[in-house]
Chains A and B, each alone.
Chain A
Amino acid sequence: MSSIKIRSKRMDGKTQIRMLIAHPMEHGRNRDAKTDSLIPAHFIQKLTVKHNKNVIISGNIGANVSKDPYFAFMLKGGNIGDKITISWVDNLGNKDTQDHIVK
């Protein structure tokens, strides 16, 4: 199952794109409650959003973004059937991609 959930909503000729990504977003200063050792940093570094193969957002993300990050953007125009592709890469090299069709 993908770690990315995408929702889109058409409103007044615009399209709102919302996404929820399942990710721990550890910044590396938290301690494990049981072992009292530092939890290594593990956070999303790059977020890319494509609209019909054009990159519309390229984001550099830091560990200051909350656990299971949520992002929302507003697209000018956008039509039913448009393809939105969202992908992320974290500092450990993990990555995920998810497609979404605007309804």
Chain B
Amino acid sequence: MTDNRRAFIKKSVALGGYSLIATGGLLGSSDANAEWLPDTSILQQTLKRLFKAQDIIASDKIAIQIPKTAENGAAVPITVTSSLNNVESIAILVEKNPIPLAAKFELSPDLEPFVSTRLKLAESSVVMVIVETGEGFYSAGEKVIVTVGGCEI
């Protein structure tokens, strides 16, 4: 009788311990997390939607002229030029804005890779430019510090 009871307790403790380890291991693994944790930022989602699964390579052949600090985020002038060949499109994104994509221009071969416009910046953010050429996608970024946001203006 006592032996029986002891054996039962031993077994149940061992089993309980085992299940504890098993669940711990499951929760710790990244596979379980990926299902419910949003692992990609809005910028990443936008990039995925715009350029599918294409590789985007950082390039120094894209020049962004933008003020380092902007007093007013409602109108920040930006000029993008590039020395890349066969430019097909130029996209401008503001990383911290609720909807990052500002504009995407498809340029014909008759045009120089040159775009100038004015952007709204909600807060200090990286302004990203993605240039699509016949060979692939290239990106460049520039940080802008905004003292007054552009969203409420």
A residues in contact (CB < 8 Å) with B: 14, 18, 25, 27, 29-30, 47, 51, 54-67, 69-77
B residues in contact (CB < 8 Å) with A: 74-76, 79, 94, 97-108, 110-112, 114-120, 150-152
The 8 closest A-B pairs by CB, nearest first: A64-B102, A72-B116, A74-B112, A74-B114, A66-B118, A66-B75, A59-B105, A56-B108
Contacts of A58 in B (CB 8 A): 105-106
Majority secondary structure, A binding face: strand
Q: A65-B103, A66-B118 are in contact. Are A73 and B151 (CB under 8 A)?
A: no
Most buried by B among A64, A72, A73: A64
Q: A64-B119, A71-B115, A72-B117 are in contact. Are A56 and B107 (CB under 8 A)?
A: yes
Identify 27 residue pairs between A and B in the complex whose beta-carbon atoms are under 8 Å apart, listed by A's number. A29-B151, A56-B108, A57-B106, A58-B106, A59-B103, A59-B104, A62-B99, A62-B101, A63-B99, A63-B120, A64-B99, A64-B102, A65-B102, A65-B118, A66-B75, A66-B119, A66-B150, A69-B117, A69-B118, A72-B114, A72-B115, A72-B117, A73-B105, A73-B112, A73-B114, A75-B110, A76-B110
